[in-house]
A and B are shown apart, each in its own frame.
Chain A
């Protein structure tokens, strides 16, 4: 089920909200079970064939977690349990996500004529990573015992299940155990509705609105003109941001209506002053996961500069592959790995500019970062290397500019989007959303009519913008 659908907004969400609060009178556990069942229904709508896999994954990881947390196992047995748990998760992910890719590469190299076509279960990358983190923490002794319903809800919780944010058990399960989830809180529902409205507007009006421009570059036949290539690449840059951050806003808003604070996933990433800064602002929950469960266990920056760069490259290559089973994603990850290495080397070797050049340096750094990110997105979006190189060739060849009336109109539209991402405040700033302190909103929203009616207009525009069928880009990862 899509957040940007009439069925979700006018049927599913109100029913689940009312059900949760009505069942809250029956005790602590009933609304948790209700929410977990509702989450399965949400997932099963259109993906019913993958519900058993999701349930099996939850049961498997809970059982391994039980062994690690409850049973007094010998260290070697604990290690074996962890390897079995993480290995099992990765095998399942590998079969469903990477078997076709692996077979295609074998065929390309050895001419095996082997093809594997397996449907990708929606959200498998997200719920697998969520549970790997749980197992690793359980192994390290950082997890208290959780009841099965709370654990099941943590994994399946519908606001995040399909495309994140990637949740952490220590953040979520204690919230599910609190009494707030069982009682309606008008302030949280109001703020949640507004955040949801902003996310819906980002998706249906901004991301879907610029989508037609993307096809000017991607999918067009070669050679591409300079302006079409840039318009297409920039359009995708903004489409992806508004699509995914819109989804994340909607997830945060929906969860807030239930009294549960989800972590932030975006913090104006295109305002980043460096690639390091970009990764602190883009898909923040994935960055944190990769840092805590891959980069640091690999050694992080503790063993000197060269191992650090190797660790960065490995982390980013695997991060690229996590997004999809294709060499274009690996190339995207590799590019960002190289960017990060250069960024760290620069920070190490080049002194900070003198204060009188600080503004110019900041502008140059911001521009360079943005252009580097746009170039990398070309690989992320392209169906093949050939397609990516076609777009990049167009972007690098100013001699082929067209700049007719349509192109000027498209550039103006791109400029509007650029102004929004560079100069407008982001959702958490507007809403004073503080995940750490579990706080949201301020007095103005309750007192002043203008923000309230502006939010109403945003919600109405978001609903009016719903198209017949418009999936989120990150659903495929």
Chain B
């Protein structure tokens, strides 16, 4: 089933466009060291070259420390996308595992996990992450991945649990059990692949949620630390100069919105493809 969903998606124009954008951003991030005209942390002349408006030499101008904005945004892509991808993988894996556990084992495990979901869903995610960051103090990118990823598994868990419970009632599962297959084999062979497209949707959504979260964290001063550039802290540097040096925020805003938008469109089209698939099944 997943194969035909994939096939559907491949012929969807919007999905192709979104995938292209994401691919381009990812490529830019990977090739950043070669694409950047300057070293993103180099400050050639913090007095004379500070806050230059865009020119041929500096396509997006320079920041308050005379660093080239384009280079910073390219290198920032590495950090922001890296954190986003890492957090996404973590939350999706965690969510799928817990959702599967809740659905398959049931009973008190289900209730306990459900209770945990209830507790975490009551707090806005930004505040949870801020509280955790303020508590643990260390702000390396790895910690951020862990904290953000560890707080974002709720949706995936719900989706996986709902889908699993639905599938567990289906005939093919009952048949497999009658034939003697263990629960875990069924999970592995049948349920997980069946749920894969939904999880992909959740993954895309999780990805789209993490990038603004990192930006928000940097906005309150708790995100990625200098001199490591990230889209979030480039944005923060620019908020002091919104009316005077508008180019500082233009590049990171375009990058963030572009990536988030593409991820959301992809998630949308995937969801539509799944729905179409189910309709015809």
Do A and B come from the same complex?
Answer: no
